[in-house]
């Protein structure tokens, strides 16, 4: 993220209203655009198909897409952070020629894993037409690949090209899904969505190739990072499990959960409210990208440059102080922007959700999980600080706290009544943020001590 963030901060340096709005707008699109655009595209598609008389089949499509997002994030979770570290190390060491081959290797691995998962799950456990089953397996495979490509695309300096990727991809997804649904029904909707996602993936690969492309074959040298940075891979897995663990609990244990088709389950009362609340991440992710991922990262790089080049202790401590101040300022801005937006949505929730046809319980869940999403963005920011400081075990502990609290309190809430729906996720985000903040603060206090004492006495 820092790679593209540094380009956006140049707009902020113009010190004009237009430059600031431009920077924050692009940061919001890049930081949360894939999720928001996908949800908006699916929502509009749902409205169009309902009006066309396909409402009775839509549950199968949307619940399958929900499972696809869950599977794709969990299966790629261990790889995402690891590839971020690998690509960042390659760029830092001026070995850009390693970047694109590692993308090709990662995509090869991702295709192999998710094709297998998709075929086993959708063909083996979801009663539907063959076209729907194979198209759903294809969507899972391509969406998983998109999460991998998204890691690399954020290092591209042409941020407008990144936004165009997602705009073109989701426009194609909508158009193809709508066109094929008229001919093949809900199976055509899934096949059309697959076509659009393939367009998105190919567009992203083209943008990455323009920046880092070589003719080298796929490389799997990043496998060595699984041994070297095992905690980082586990962080990606545990974090994504924590994000999703409350959903299947509601599907299987809530009185509102039901089986849509075979292994596809849903709990619309909970699912719809939670997914709507996740659309609120844009302001916080914009601040995260423009402050924590750039200003903090810049001071962090300067701190270690001084260490390596034998700067004076006064210079090193002064740089550390600026780094800590940048972190405090970034967190304060994040809470102000995301907090204000969250508060506005909480206050407007009742008429807003009533207009969407959702009831009182869903309004309550929406309000509660809005607060949870705000805390989740803070948790992500503090996790990133731990990653920068290379405190991977602390980051893993924080992710484990988040996942375990979400599981335990969601389960406890389901065993009581609807007044507890959503509180498990929100409490988990708070617990994760507290854990990550505490550990990050301790790491920063000991930064110069650990930096120097970790060096060998004899070189």
pLDDT tens, 211-238? 887 778 899 999 999 998 999 999 999 9
Q: Give the SS3 label for residue 237.
A: helix
- The predicted pLDDT at position 450 comes to 83
Residue 381 burial (10 A CB sphere; 0-12, 13-18, 19+): buried
- Provide the pLDDT for residue 22: 53
Residue-level pLDDT at 311: 87
The pLDDT of 262-289, averaged and rounded, is 87
Rounded distance, CA 90 to CA 96, Å? Answer: 6
Structure tokens at 386: 């731990």
Percentage of the chain beyond pLDDT 90 is: 60
Distances in whole angstroms, Cα of residue 183 to Cα of each of 187, 366, 423: 9, 36, 43
pLDDT tens digits along 320-364:
999 999 889 888 988 998 999 999 999 999 999 999 888 999 999
d(CA 286, CA 163): 14
* In contact, 199 and 172? CB cutoff 8 Å: yes
What span, in angstroms and rounded, lies between the C-alpha atoms of 287 and 2? Answer: 12
Looking at the DSSP assignment, which residues form a beta bridge with residue 259? 265
End-to-end CA distance of the chain: 34
Percent of the chain scoring above 70 in pLDDT: 88
Strand-pair partners of 445: none
As beta bridge partners, residue 265 has 259
* Segment 403-433, tens digit of pLDDT: 999 999 999 999 998 889 999 999 999 999 9
Classify residue 185 as exposed, middle or buried by CB count within 10 Å of its CB (0-12, 13-18, 19+).
Answer: middle
Evaluate whether 303 touches 320 at the Cβ level (below 8 Å): yes
Question: Is pTM, for the whole model, over 0.85?
Answer: yes
Predicted local confidence at residue 287, as pLDDT: 73
* pLDDT tens digits, 303-312: 988 988 888 8
In this predicted structure, the answer to whether residue 29 has a pLDDT above a threshold of 70 is: no
CA distance 158 to 7: 8
Cβ neighbors of 129 (< 8 A, separation 6 or more) are 187
Residue 415, judged by CB atoms within 10 A of its CB (0-12, 13-18, 19+), counts as exposed
Inter-axis angle of helices 423-445 and 392-414, nearest 10: 160
pLDDT digits (tens, 9 = 90+) for 78-93: 999 999 899 888 887 8
């Amino acid at each position: 993220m820092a790679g593209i963030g540094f380009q956006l901060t140049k707009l902020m340096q113009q010190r004009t209203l237009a430059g600031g709005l431009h920077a924050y707008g692009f940061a919001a699109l890049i930081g949360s655009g894939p999720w928001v655009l996908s949800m908006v595209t699916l929502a509009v598609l749902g409205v169009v198909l309902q009006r066309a008389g396909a409402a009775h089949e839509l549950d199968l499509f949307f619940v399958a897409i929900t499972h696809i997002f869950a599977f794709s994030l969990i299966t790629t979770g261990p790889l995402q952070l690891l590839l971020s570290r690998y690509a960042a190390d390659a760029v830092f060491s001026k070995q850009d020629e390693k970047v694109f081959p590692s993308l090709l290797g990662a995509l090869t691995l991702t295709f192999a894993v998710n094709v297998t998962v998709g075929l086993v799950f959708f063909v083996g456990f979801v009663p539907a037409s063959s076209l729907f089953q194979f198209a759903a397996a294809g969507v899972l495979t391509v969406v998983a690949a998109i999460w991998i490509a998204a890691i690399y695309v954020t290092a591209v300096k042409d941020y407008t090209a990144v936004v165009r990727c997602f705009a073109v991809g989701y426009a194609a997804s909508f158009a193809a899904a709508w066109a094929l649904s008229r001919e093949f029904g809900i199976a055509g909707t899934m096949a059309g969505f697959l076509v659009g996602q393939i367009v998105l993936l190919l567009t992203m690969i083209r943008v990455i190739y323009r920046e880092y492309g070589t003719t080298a074959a796929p490389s799997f040298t990043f496998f060595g990072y699984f041994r070297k940075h095992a905690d980082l891979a586990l962080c990606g897995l545990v974090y994504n499990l924590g994000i999703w663990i409350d959903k299947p609990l509601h599907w299987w244990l809530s009185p509102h959960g039901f089986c849509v088709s075979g292994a596809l389950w849903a709990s619309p009362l909970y699912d719809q409210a939670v997914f709507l609340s996740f659309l609120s991440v844009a302001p916080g992710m914009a601040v995260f990208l423009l402050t924590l991922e750039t200003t903090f990262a810049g001071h962090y790089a300067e701190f270690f440059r001084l260490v390596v080049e034998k700067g004076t202790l006064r210079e090193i401590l002064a740089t550390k102080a600026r780094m800590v101040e940048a972190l405090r300022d970034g967190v304060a801005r994040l809470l102000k922007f995301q907090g204000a937006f969250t508060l506005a949505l909480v206050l407007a929730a009742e008429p807003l959700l009533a207009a969407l046809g959702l009831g009182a319980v869903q309004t309550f869940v929406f309000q509660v999980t809005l607060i949870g999403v705000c805390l989740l963005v803070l948790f992500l920011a503090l996790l990133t600080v731990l990653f920068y400081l290379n405190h991977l075990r602390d980051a893993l502990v924080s992710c484990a706290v988040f996942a375990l609290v979400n599981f335990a309190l969601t389960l406890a809430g389901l065993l009581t009544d609807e007044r507890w729906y959503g509180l498990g996720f929100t409490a988990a985000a708070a617990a994760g943020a507290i854990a990550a903040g505490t550990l990050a603060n301790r790491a920063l206090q000991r930064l110069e001590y650990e930096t120097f004492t970790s060096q060998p006495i004899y070189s």
